[in-house]
Amino acid sequence: MTSHPIVPEDQWIDAMRALTAEEKAITQAQQRLSEKRRALPWVRIDKPYMFEGEDGPVLLADLFDGRTQLIVQHFMFGTDWQEGCQSCSLLADHIDGARQHFEHNDASFAAVSRAPIDKIAPYRRRMGWRFRWVSAARSDFNADHHVSFPSDRAGGIFYNFEHQPDPGIEELPGLSVFHRAPDGAIYRTYSCYARGLEKFMGVYAFLDVAPRGRAELKTGMMHDWLKRHDRYEDDGRTQPISAAMVAAA
């Protein structure tokens, strides 16, 4: 039997009314936070970053694709890895659906990784993604944006705007936003890292309203259940509830 109290509908409505008031307060706080985010100062990008795309060299300016705003996913995919990171792949699963809309609101998207393009391109095709993805293997872009680190990290790293101990890995996730002015100047306007990326993962919004939540039972990390979308063994159904099971409960 469930450990949750079972109550008449009027009591459930009272509980929902109280929770909804808290949810509205959070929504209003998020709106105020978004206003602060848009009011942040910008930093000018002066390096002529060059990437490798499937059709050849690509400049940072080219990634804007004629728009004035650019969202970049710092996708964890090391130079010697055979496939991209699981959690970065989860975020990437959300991109193409959203991209159909935000591209019509003056925002472009690109993923950037240190892996060579001849590893990135087959993985992108395997996963069925259509967004642009380029290699920064010959660029300082990932190091300058504090998502790729040298093999010698004895002194720790700078990540998520803080100095941190060696994470034991050369790649970490992030997302950065850029603006291109009419004169061609490019500015970095925003970045987020670690759990700051969760707001771009709609799957969590769905799981957070389900009774079991994210069901990250062992370590509290997504890796307890997450796989690349083409690696799940089944569709996640539980066994049908029979009359005997109901009686036993």
DSSP code at position 145: T
Q: For residue 212, what pLDDT is reported?
A: 81
> Residue ranges of the chain with pLDDT lower than 70?
1-2, 216-224, 238-249
- Rounded to an integer, what distance in angstroms lies between the CA atom of residue 199 and that of residue 94? 11
Is 51 in contact with 115 (CB distance < 8 Å)? no
Helix spans in the chain (H): 9-38, 60-63, 86-92, 95-102, 117-127, 141-144, 202-207, 243-248
Amino acid at 156: G
- In tens, the pLDDT along 152-175 reads 888 899 999 999 999 999 999 999
Calpha distance 96→98 (Å, rounded): 5
Residue 240 has what pLDDT? 55
Q: What is the pLDDT of residue 141?
A: 98
pTM of the model: 0.89
Torsion-angle region of residue 194: left (phi > 0), alpha (psi -120 to 50) or beta? left
Give the domain ranges of the chain: 43-202
Give the domain 43-202 fold. Answer: Glutaredoxin (3.40.30)
pLDDT at residue 1, rounded to an integer: 45
Q: What is the pLDDT of residues 48-72, one digit of tens each?
A: 999 999 999 999 999 999 999 999 9
